Amino acid sequence: MMYERLQSCKMPTDQFGLTSISYSPTLGLGLITGLTDSTYPLFISPSSSTSSHQTPHLGAKFSYKIRCATEAPYPSHSIFFLNSKNQIFKADLSKQTVRLWSDLSKERKGLDVREEGAVLSCPDVGGERVYAFWRVGDELRLVECVEGNGVVSRQNLRWLWDEVVSGV
């Protein structure tokens, strides 16, 4: 088994820490995300050189406060992440680019602090669909997202949770 050490893999303000770390051994490149307002390098290579830490220009309105992330299955080098503005971005490790992929801000507006947490999943290699899961009141919401169009379907999975907890 081979281990690579990612140098300087610490957030600028480590009060919240990292929210995700992804690494591609075939590319020798990693991507980190954190729950902080400070800017930080998204792409990191296992070199000790600070010049290897790269962040593409993402614009002044980009929020580096990342809630969660998911990787598309291999051989894709795509990583999707949800920022604090409830936008899903797609990062391509092979091209070292980041772009807005979909927007969940209308779907997630009005959440209270306890409901802001979320989980993403991307089960297909092509990265054509991303699933987002979070709590809204008593509901456990699962939404299916596609590029640019936002939500294409939504389900309440509370019934499934209740069955699991009750041991059925």
Least confident of 45-59, 65-79, 123-137: 45-59
Q: Which of 159, 121, 163, 118 is nearest to 139 (CA)?
A: 159
pLDDT the model gives residue 43: 86
Q: Which amino acid makes up residue 136? A: V
Are residues 145 and 157 in contact, defined by beta-carbon separation less than 8 angstroms?
Answer: no
Mean pLDDT confidence for 110-136:
87
**pTM above the 0.85 mark?**
no
Quote the CA–CA distance of 7 and 28 in Å, as a whole number: 13
- Evaluate if residue 142 carries a pLDDT over 70: yes
Q: Where are the domains of the chain?
A: 18-166
| Mean pLDDT (the chain, rounded) | 81
* pLDDT band per the 50, 70, 90 thresholds, residue 18: confident
pLDDT tens, residue by residue, 61-70: 677 788 899 9
Question: Residue 168 is encoded by which pair of tokens?
Answer: 């059925």
Are residues 125 and 78 in contact, defined by beta-carbon separation less than 8 angstroms?
Answer: no
